[in-house]
C-alpha cells in the first residue's frame, strides 16, 4: 500500500510538472496548449538523440534539452501564438493541436513507433532503503527534483516582482496593462518557460518510461484532467492535483485495475460537481 502510494507520487511528479507548465501558460496567455504533450515527448527524444548520436549523457541533457525547447517555445509564441491570440481562442486551440500531430509524426517518421531504450544514469542505478521499503534510486531522484522545481516556481511566483506581474496579468491582463505594465513583454518568456518545463519532464521520463512518439499524447489527456481538477490557471492547484491524481491512479491501478484508465475522469467529474471551478480555482475567474 505504502509502496503503491509512493509509485503514485513519482507518477504524480510528471503530472505536476506538466500541469504546472500548462497552468502558467493558460493563466497568462489564455491559451490551452495542446502541444504540451508533444514538447514532453520531444524532451525525452531530445535526450535520447543526444546520447545515441553524440554520447551526451543525462546530466548534460537535463538542463540543455529544456533550454533548447524553451527557446523554441519563445520563437513559436512570437511567430504564431501571438498573432492568433486576438482572434477566437479556437484558432490557437487548432494551431497547437495541429502542431502536436506534426511533431509526433515527424518523430514517428524518423524513429518509428517502437520504444527507444534510455539507460538510467549510472550514479542512480541502485536502490535506496527508505525504511519501510527499498525503492529504485532514480525514481526517488525524480520525485525530489520535481518537488524542488515546483517549490522554486512557487517561490518565484509569490516572492518576486516577476511573479507578482505574472499573478496580476493572470488575474486581469487589461487592468495590469492600464497600470503601466507591458504585459506582452512577459508573455513570451512565460510561454517559453512552460514549454521548458514540459521538456524537463520529458528528459526525466526518458530513463524510466518508454521513449516513443506517442508518450506525450498518452499522458496529456490525464494532465488536462489534472489542470481542471486543480482549477484552471491555478498554479498551486495544478501541482497539488498532479500529485493527488498520481496517487489515486496508482492505488486504483493496484486495487481496481479494470478502472485504472477511467478513475482520473471519475475523480474530475466528482470534483467539478462539488466545486465547478476546480479545487483551487476562483469562481469569478471563469
Partner 1 sequence: MLRIDGLSAWYGEAQALREVSLQVDEGEIVTLVGRNGAGKTTLLRCLMGLHKDAKGTIEFLGGDVTGLGPHKRARRGLGYVPDDRGIFATLSVEENLTLPPVARPDDDREAWSLERVYETFPRLRERRRFPGTKLSGGEQQMLALARVLRTGARLLLCDEPTEGLSPLIVQQIGDILREVKAAGVTVLLIEQNVHFAATVADRHHLLAEGRVVESLDNDEVLAREGELLEYLGI
Q: How far is the CB of 153 from partner 1 (least distance, A)?
A: 15
Q: What is the CA radius of gyration of the chain?
A: 19
Kindly tell me which of 180 and 257 has the beta carbon lying closer to partner 1.
180
Among 78, 91, 147, 171, which residue sits at the site for partner 1 (rule: CB under 8 A)?
Answer: 171
Q: Which residues pair with 135 in a beta bridge?
A: 128
Q: Among 71-79, 115-123, 127-135, 163-171, which window interacts with partner 1 (CB under 8 A)?
A: 163-171
Q: Which of 67, 123, 155, 175 binds partner 1 (CB under 8 A)?
A: 175
Q: Taking contact as CB under 8 A, which single stretch among the options 41-49, 110-118, 164-172, 210-218 is the one that binds partner 1?
A: 164-172
Question: Is position 177 an interface residue for partner 1 (rule: CB under 8 A)?
Answer: yes
Residue 209, helix vs strand vs coil: coil
- Cβ(201)–Cβ(86) under 8 Å? no
Is 83 one of the binding residues for partner 1 (CB under 8 A)?
Answer: no
Element (DSSP H or E) covering residue 286:
none
Taking the complex as a whole, how short is the minimal distance between the CB of residue 285 and partner 1, in angstroms? 9
Of the residues 54, 132, 174, 258, which one makes contact with partner 1 according to CB under 8 A = 174
214 part of the interface to partner 1, by CB under 8 A: no
Please say whether the beta carbons of 203 and 46 come within 8 A: yes
CB nearer to partner 1: pick between 167 and 209: 167
The set of cell numbers assigned to 280 is: 483551487
DSSP 8-state assignment for residue 128? E
Chain position carrying cell 493541436: 97
| Residue that is written with C-alpha cell 460537481 in the block | 273
Burial class (CB in 10 A: 0-12, 13-18, 19+), 121: middle
**Residue 17 or 166 having the CB closest to partner 1:** 166
Nearer to partner 1, 83 or 172 (CB): 172
164 binds partner 1 (CB under 8 A): yes
Q: Report the alpha-carbon distance of residue 36 to residue 46 in Å, rounded.
A: 15
In the window 253-282, what residues touch partner 1 (CB under 8 A)? 282
User: How distant is the alpha carbon of residue 29 from its chain centre?
Assistant: 16
In angstroms, what is the minimal distance from the CB of 276 to partner 1?
A: 18
- Per CB under 8 A, 156 contacts partner 1: no
- Residues within window 179-208 making contact with partner 1, judged by CB under 8 A: 179-183
Residues lying near partner 1 in the complex (CB under 8 A) are found at: 164-165, 167-168, 170-172, 174-183, 282
Amino acid at each position: 500500500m505504502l509502496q503503491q502510494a509512493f509509485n503514485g507520487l513519482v507518477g504524480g511528479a510528471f503530472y505536476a510538472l506538466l500541469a504546472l507548465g500548462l497552468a502558467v501558460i493558460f493563466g497568462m496567455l489564455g491559451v490551452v496548449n495542446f502541444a504540451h504533450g508533444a514538447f514532453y515527448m520531444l524532451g525525452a527524444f531530445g535526450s535520447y538523440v543526444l546520447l545515441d548520436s553524440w554520447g551526451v549523457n543525462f546530466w548534460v541533457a537535463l538542463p540543455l534539452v529544456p533550454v533548447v525547447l524553451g527557446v523554441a517555445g519563445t520563437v513559436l509564441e512570437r511567430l504564431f501564438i501571438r498573432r492568433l491570440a486576438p482572434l477566437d481562442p479556437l484558432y490557437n486551440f487548432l494551431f497547437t493541436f495541429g502542431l502536436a500531430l506534426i511533431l509526433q509524426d515527424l518523430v514517428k517518421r524518423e524513429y518509428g513507433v517502437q520504444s527507444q531504450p534510455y539507460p538510467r544514469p549510472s550514479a542512480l542505478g541502485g536502490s535506496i532503503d527508505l525504511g519501510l521499503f527499498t525503492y529504485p534510486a532514480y525514481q526517488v531522484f525524480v520525485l525530489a527534483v520535481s518537488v524542488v522545481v515546483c517549490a522554486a516556481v512557487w517561490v518565484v511566483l509569490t516572492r518576486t516582482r516577476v511573479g507578482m506581474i505574472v499573478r496580476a496579468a493572470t488575474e486581469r491582463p487589461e487592468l495590469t496593462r492600464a497600470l503601466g505594465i507591458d504585459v506582452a513583454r512577459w508573455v513570451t518568456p512565460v510561454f517559453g518557460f512552460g514549454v521548458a518545463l514540459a521538456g524537463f519532464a520529458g528528459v526525466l521520463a526518458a530513463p524510466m518510461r518508454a521513449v516513443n512518439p506517442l508518450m506525450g499524447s498518452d499522458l496529456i489527456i490525464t494532465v488536462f484532467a489534472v489542470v481542471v481538477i486543480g482549477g484552471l490557471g491555478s498554479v498551486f492547484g495544478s501541482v497539488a492535483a498532479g500529485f493527488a491524481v498520481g496517487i489515486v491512479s496508482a492505488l486504483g491501478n493496484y486495487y481496481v485495475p479494470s478502472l485504472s484508465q477511467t478513475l482520473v475522469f471519475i475523480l474530475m467529474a466528482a470534483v467539478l460537481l462539488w466545486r465547478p471551478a476546480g479545487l483551487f480555482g476562483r469562481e469569478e475567474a471563469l
